[in-house]
Structure 1
């Protein structure tokens, strides 16, 4: 028995839903789901159609750049809606290896080498990265913190000491690490 759940109107490449939501269709979608002349879609067809649309959007977005899982999910929900179906697509993409928060976070950390552990941790939390992944990535980078601070110190040039410290703190480095780096720099200068 066919259950009619969604009343739809199709005009050109647009599918108009009851709630004034518009879904843009491709010719492939119209043919695949046999949408010509339809005014009602059953649950299964509707889910498959929306899943297909979200999947196309996700592929297009990932072709342009990498995303964190939460970031992609939020953008798809904002663009198309249907949070439960977006969740299914994102899970499918993660299983296929198209989304990998660990690799994305690792790449982000290396691209932003002038950020300290606190700032990276904050950014990763905002992006919905799992705490275990955050800890692992920051642990890998822990030994480089002093060297990074020293590089930033030299880069800041002849500014007064307090201004340099404040600048480095704003980049998310720990005060204790900054003190160690300063001591190391002072020792090197004495030699």
Structure 2
């Protein structure tokens, strides 16, 4: 694969491919002197760049493995290499969907249904979500009562609708509202 240009941290290759490379990768792969990359060298550069990018992204916030994979695929478009990067990062413990789900459950003010939906959108498997809920000690009725203190002046039916939109199930809402009337 022919190297068209190397400016700062961008490696321009034929077929309109652009790879963000760190100075470390440039030095390690001796990219400043090369005019062409073999397939193996290209894959190595993409691997190192994807690994570097994933560390950068994970330093900013937590990601599920699916979220990180999507983000890296947009940037690098090499699915097999991205899979290796994700596997390495999971092996080192930087990505853990169970811990992510547990943390998400504890931080969320929403009900179980909405939390499950949001976690599924983020790529967390249903069995991991279920396990995280079993491990979490959050009580839905307690969450509902906390939310009710914020909407205390509203009519009864508006409170119910609000809580149902938040993802709480009807039985928990009824239980929390019984002592309020």
Pair 1:125-2:120 in alignment: yes
Q: CA RMSD in A?
A: 1.7
Which whole-Å CA distance do the structure 2 matches of 1:11 and 1:32 have between them?
15
TM-score of the aligned structures, taking structure 1 as reference length = 0.86
Q: Is the 8 A contact 1:10 1:37 kept in 2?
A: no
TM-score of the aligned structures, taking structure 2 as reference length = 0.91
**SS of 1:58's equivalent?**
helix
Structure 1 stretches of 5 or more lacking a match? Answer: 1-5, 187-191
Give the corresponding residue for 2:23: 27
Over 3 Å counting, the alpha-carbon distance change for 1:143 and 1:60 in structure 2 is closer
Range with greater deviation from structure 2 (147-156 or 172-181): 147-156
Question: Which 4+ runs in 1 deviate beyond 6 A?
Answer: none
Give the corresponding residue for 1:61: 57
Give the corresponding residue for 1:102: 98
Q: Once the 2 structures are TM-superposed, how far is the Cα of residue 141 of structure 1 from its aligned partner?
A: 4.3
Query: Size of the alignment, in residue pairs?
Result: 180
Give the corresponding residue for 1:162: 157
- Post-superposition Cα deviations, 1:25-68, rounded to whole Å, max 9, x if no partner, equal 23222221122332322222111111001111111111111111
- Post-superposition Cα deviations, 1:121-160, rounded to whole Å, max 9, x if no partner, equal 0001001101111011223447601111122222211100
Which whole-Å CA distance do the structure 1 matches of 2:20 and 2:148 have between them?
52
Give the corresponding residue for 1:189: none
Higher-Rg structure is 1
Structure 2 stretches of 5 or more lacking a match? Answer: none
Q: Is the 8 A contact 1:149 1:168 kept in 2?
A: yes
Pair 1:181-2:176 in alignment: yes
